[in-house]
Amino acid sequence: MNYSVDNIKEFILKFLDKEAECWTKRQLTDLDDYNQSIKVLYAMAIDDLDEGFGIYYKKELVLDENPVTYKPRHLYKLSSYKNKIYGDIWVAYVSIINPRSESNKSLLVDGFIISEIDDEFKIIGTMGVKLSRSTMAVMGWSGDVYNPSDLDIKKLGKFVATERYSEPDDRDDFSLKEYLKDK
């Protein structure tokens, strides 16, 4: 596949839009439509990673009295790496689900690791910020529990480049520093 960082950005933005759509539809009563959206979201990742997204197929939905239309997460930056196992991989650094403020007032909290699998882009791993249990201060990154790949987030590979889109807030003394790193 011949691709550029724009192709990766397009993929992750579609993924983030679909994720927001799934969270929004979860509050409504059209079960088939909701489960179809989940199926499309899960198809954008490798098998078994779906539980790491925190949203699941349902057998019934309950209408929320005050449904919220979820907004996609903010994309802060994309970093590319050469990995021994997967070849080219990218990490999309993003905000929380349904950010309630502008990108510069939100924090960097998750990373989606992307690679090409069978001529398609797929999410192959996830990572989230690691918090101190006593102070809730951000301590760095951790691989999420449901990361089924053999990818070590501490050894993503040889760093190639970063493309930055929007600065996050720095009230956690982590997000902006992480955003500015070439990694």
- Buried b or exposed e, range 41-71, using 16+ CB within 10 angstroms: bbebbeeebbebbebeeeeebeeeeeeeebb
pLDDT digit string (tens) for 26-61? 998 899 999 999 999 999 998 878 777 888 899 988
pLDDT tops 90 at residue 152: no
What does the pLDDT read at residue 111? 94
Write down the mean pLDDT value for the chain.
89
| Alpha carbons within 13 A on the beta-carbon side of 25 | 22
pTM surpassing 0.85?
Answer: yes
> Which sign, positive or negative, has the C-alpha torsion 87, 15, 165, 74?
negative
Please say whether the beta carbons of 153 and 76 come within 8 A: no
Query: What was the pLDDT predicted at 4?
Result: 87
| Domain assignments of the chain as residue spans, ordered by start | 75-180
pLDDT at 144: 64
Give the torsion through C-alpha atoms of 159, 130, 86, 10, to 10 deg.
-80
Residue 149 has pLDDT above 70, yes or no: no
| DSSP 8-class letter at 103 | G
Q: 97-120 as b/e, with b when 16 or more CB fall inside 10 Å?
A: bebeeebeebbbbbbbbbbbeeee
Whether the pLDDT of residue 20 is over 90: the answer is yes
Tokens representing 55 are: 């949203």
Written as one letter, the residue type at 22 is: C
For residue range 58-110, list pLDDT tens digits in order.
Answer: 998 888 889 899 999 999 999 999 998 889 999 999 999 988 878 878 899 99
Residue with tokens 């919220």: 68
* 111-122: average pLDDT: 93
Residue that wins the pLDDT comparison between 151 and 96:
96
Gap between the Cα atoms of 30 and 62, Å rounded: 10
Specify the DSSP element, H or E, that contains 46.
none
